[in-house]
Structure 1
Amino acid sequence: MKFVMPFNGSRGDVAPGIALGVELAHRGHDVVFGAPPNLVDFARAKTAVYERVEVVSFGPDTHSLLESELIRVRIKSRNPRTRMTALAELATHGWDQMAAELEQMTVDCDALVTGSLGQEMAFNMAESVGSAFLALHYCPLRKNDVVPVSPGFTLPGALNRSMWALAENLRFKSMKARENEQRAALGLAPTGDSLPVRCARYGGVEIQAYESTLFPGLAEQWGPLRPFVGFLGLNSGHLDTDPAVDRWLRSGSAPVYFGFGSMPVPDPAALLRMIHSVTERLGVRALVCAGWSDLVSAESIAAQQNPNVMVVDSVDHASVFPRCMAAVHHGGAGTTAASARAGLPTLVCWFSADQPFWGAALRRIGAGSSTKFSKLSEPVLLQGITDIITDDARRAARQLAHSVAPPGVAVAAAADLAESAARGR
């Protein structure tokens, strides 16, 4: 069978799709995987040994988008009108380009599998070609009684469901014109229903690619059309630690990991000075991962020659996290999955999107704490790390690790669902 997999977003959005694509290719299926141009090389490196996987460029450069004024300024505006306009612009960013590319990808498609971003476009294409439709969700996105729309607030079940319904309706209204333009171009009738309604009617499957343990009661509410499989991740089968990092880890005590993934850090030098100061006060070492921020050059700007702090461009989470004592990161689903699997108590310093959900979930079970990155200061960071290196936090993190499905198990479950859906169409 042929699986077409258009994925948009950052590395954390794309990597779970690659893991699923690799498993489907391993099972003998053909896979066309679409990745943003800035992540094509990453996707090709991870799929190089699989001849059945073709990686193509899909959509705009997401690194440039995250550095844009839209993301850095307007989407964080305190003015609700400005913020809503920015969100609507983000939802359709690169729409025409992606729609054209997707139409070329879906020739002879049996199933279309996409991520959390761009689901509306992918669904319309699946309906047009008559293929199965599956989406990977990396956090709760549909109306329910148990997860607050705004993490940190506790609402009665009925009110909570109403708030989710309102959010779904606002999302549909912001997308409706673009969606119906696409549908007309594909020869489909215009729609007046939101994606969750259409997806359920079509028999689409929204795979919950995270642990139900973190959101008790959700799996029972949603049933078989929104099945939980656990965090999806690439399982290389071997540890891959950079020799320099390995030597540094061996040279002293287990460090606190710091990393903010694809999130642009406004002042890298100030952040590094903060990390140096706080870890020195606590008497712990720090392993700092630059990600998409310019922390490596900022290290020289900070002018801190401290052997207890190491700054690197990137690390392999699966090999490094088990050798750390705690983690401080942005709360992306992939990084949260890695720290959860490693049993690391975690301080989530979130920026936007699904990140506050993970901070709230870890705080709720006692395995971590959470704060907005823009509110991060030396006292806040000091208190946050102090809170997560307690015996209680370590114990809760270890308990969470025992409940997290291994990457191979989660990916196999997702592939089973994808195969079943494709055969069903």
Structure 2
Amino acid sequence: MPRKIVLYALGSRGDIQPCVALGRALNARGHRVRVIAAARYADLIASAGLDPAPLSVDPADLLNTEEGQRLLAGGRNPVAFLGGLRRVLGPLAERLLGEILTAARGADLVLAPSAGWLGEHIGEHLGIPSAVIHYQPSHPTGAFPHPLLPQARLLGRWGNRVSFQAVDLLAWVLIRHFVNPWRRGQLHLPPASLLGLPRRVYRERPVLCCFSSAVVPRPRDWPSHVHLTGYWFLDEPEYRPSEELAAFLEAGPPPVYVGFGSMVPADPQSAHRLIHDAIHLAGVRAVVMGDPKSGLTSGEDVLVVEDVPHSWLFPRMAAVVHHGGAGTTAAGLRAGVPTVVCPFFGDQPYWGERVAALRAGPEPIPFRKLTVRGLAEAIRQAMHDPVIRLGAEHIGRRLSAEDGTAAACEVIESLLPG
């Protein structure tokens, strides 16, 4: 029986594309799907045959603010990261929560990221089932620590498990004074307790992990309601490159891709010069993601592009250099080409470590420590180390054989009422 499913896609394009891919698969099964996301992604959502519910808050714009730059500088520190999110989103919380609630009305099922457990609150208010989306491993386990607290591994399995609970508790402490007034005022629900809500979510709420067991092996102590589905890839076979891009690719050997998604360096011009110099020192050609209107310039061996689907571009590259966002990392790994991760903050260092552990790329280099020589050496290693090339090809074949959206659809349909 067709149902209305609401997906809340919090974040930048790397968070929205998996939800669009999942929504399109659900739509093909006869369900109606609404995707709540920043307004700039409304066309992407609508072109997939889904119902966009635009938000007035855009994470990409927030990163350009002074507080956003402070957030990017926080690195992997969970206190700095979560505190930064609170400062950035706090003044906008009431408006944002109201828009999310309005967009979710009439749903039969709501799927949302774990941030604030918004799906839990909305599901409780509407009397419908909800599930949590994890873009990185976020359910407690003794097998490894939370991506934001790698130091916890020093305390063994106990420390690993507690690290997840500590990060979630800290996040809930920071945002509950936004969420509980919303629960009382708009949802007509009692305030959620400090410890009760996390425990209930851990024990009861279904989780869809939007990543592959080939990249993150499933821990043995995850309960059965945590579903590791595989990645939700959004392919865009209808894409046609510009004449300039097509000519550049045909003019020489496969280039290297360099791009940092929605991450905004404090000094974009200096960062671009560093990239240009590293490309020249490495002796490679490169496709660099950026805005040519901002002063970024192309050259004989460098082409600046604005927006090219990773699913089309990455398989045509010799290697990819990026910030380590979950979606970009997945696209690079599936393409079967070596990856160089230069993380800024959050879970990005974790994905860089996973790439290195899979021998699909060198050790990650934090963006703030990036130098011309260091980036050039990492590119050369990625392209010429046979172990890395074989590792990248191996994981690429494994991910290409998976169908994460189909697996996720099976789980979702099992949760629908009736």
TM over 0.5: yes
The aligned counterpart of 1:325 is: 318
The aligned counterpart of 1:312 is: 305
The aligned counterpart of 2:98 is: 100
SS in 1 for 2:253: coil
Unaligned runs of 5+ in 2: none
The aligned counterpart of 1:337 is: 330
Pairwise CA distance, 1:318? 1.4
The aligned counterpart of 2:285 is: 285
The aligned counterpart of 2:110 is: 112
CA pair 313-166 structure 1, distance change in 2 beyond 3 A: same
The aligned counterpart of 2:123 is: 126
Pairwise CA distance, 1:5? 1.8
The aligned counterpart of 1:16 is: 18
Pairwise CA distance, 1:243? 3.1
Kept after mapping to 2: 8 A contact 1:4/1:33: yes
The aligned counterpart of 1:420 is: 414
SS in 2 for 1:28: coil
The aligned counterpart of 2:399 is: 404
Selected match of 1:37 from 39, 52, 57: 39
CA pair 232-93 structure 1, distance change in 2 beyond 3 A: farther
Q: Which amino acid aligns with 2:365?
A: T
CA pair 412-242 structure 1, distance change in 2 beyond 3 A: farther
Pairwise CA distance, 1:230? 1.2
Kept after mapping to 1: 8 A contact 2:208/2:228: yes
Pairwise CA distance, 1:163? 2.3
Pairwise CA distance, 1:10? 0.6
SS in 1 for 2:230: coil
The aligned counterpart of 1:221 is: 221
The aligned counterpart of 2:350 is: 357
Cα-Cα RMSD? 2.4
TM (norm. structure 2) is 0.90
Selected match of 1:60 from 57, 60, 63: 57
How far apart, in 1, do the equivalents of 2:150 and 2:166 lie? 18
SS in 2 for 1:213: coil
TM (norm. structure 1) is 0.88
Pairwise CA distance, 1:267? 2.6
Pairwise CA distance, 1:91? 5.6
How far apart, in 1, do the equivalents of 2:63 and 2:250 lie? 35
CA pair 284-135 structure 1, distance change in 2 beyond 3 A: same
Q: Which amino acid aligns with 2:263?
A: M
Pairwise CA distance, 1:59? 4.5
Pairwise CA distance, 1:74? 5.4
Q: Which amino acid aligns with 2:305?
A: V
Q: Which amino acid aligns with 2:360?
A: A
CA pair 311-29 structure 1, distance change in 2 beyond 3 A: same
Q: Which amino acid aligns with 1:357?
A: Y
**1:70-219 equivalence runs, <5 A:** 70-73=67-70, 76=73, 85-90=83-88, 92=90, 94-116=92-114, 118-149=115-146, 150=148, 153=151, 154-155=153-154, 156-185=156-185, 186-192=187-193, 193=195, 195-201=197-203, 203-218=204-219
How far apart, in 1, do the equivalents of 2:103 and 2:300 lie? 50
Kept after mapping to 2: 8 A contact 1:91/1:175: no
Kept after mapping to 2: 8 A contact 1:288/1:310: yes
Pairwise CA distance, 1:257? 0.7
CA pair 81-367 structure 1, distance change in 2 beyond 3 A: closer
Kept after mapping to 2: 8 A contact 1:152/1:360: no
Encode CA deviations 1:272-306: one digit per residue, 9 max, x unaligned: 3223322222221111111xxx4553334xxxx63
How far apart, in 2, do the equivalents of 1:19 and 1:119 lie? 23
Encode CA deviations 1:393-419: one digit per residue, 9 max, x unaligned: 001111111221557x21111112111
Pairwise CA distance, 1:119? 4.6
Unaligned runs of 5+ in 1: none
How far apart, in 1, do the equivalents of 2:82 and 2:95 lie? 23
Q: Which amino acid aligns with 1:398?
A: E
Q: Which amino acid aligns with 2:378?
A: G
Q: Which amino acid aligns with 1:394?
A: R
2:340 counterpart of 1:347: yes
Q: Between 171-180 and 121-130, report the one with greater CA deviation.
A: 171-180
How far apart, in 1, do the equivalents of 2:78 and 2:224 lie? 36
Pairwise CA distance, 1:80? 9.3
SS in 1 for 2:214: helix
The aligned counterpart of 2:27 is: 25
How far apart, in 1, do the equivalents of 2:357 and 2:196 lie? 31
How far apart, in 2, do the equivalents of 1:365 and 1:296 lie? 38
Pairwise CA distance, 1:229? 1.1
SS in 2 for 1:223: coil
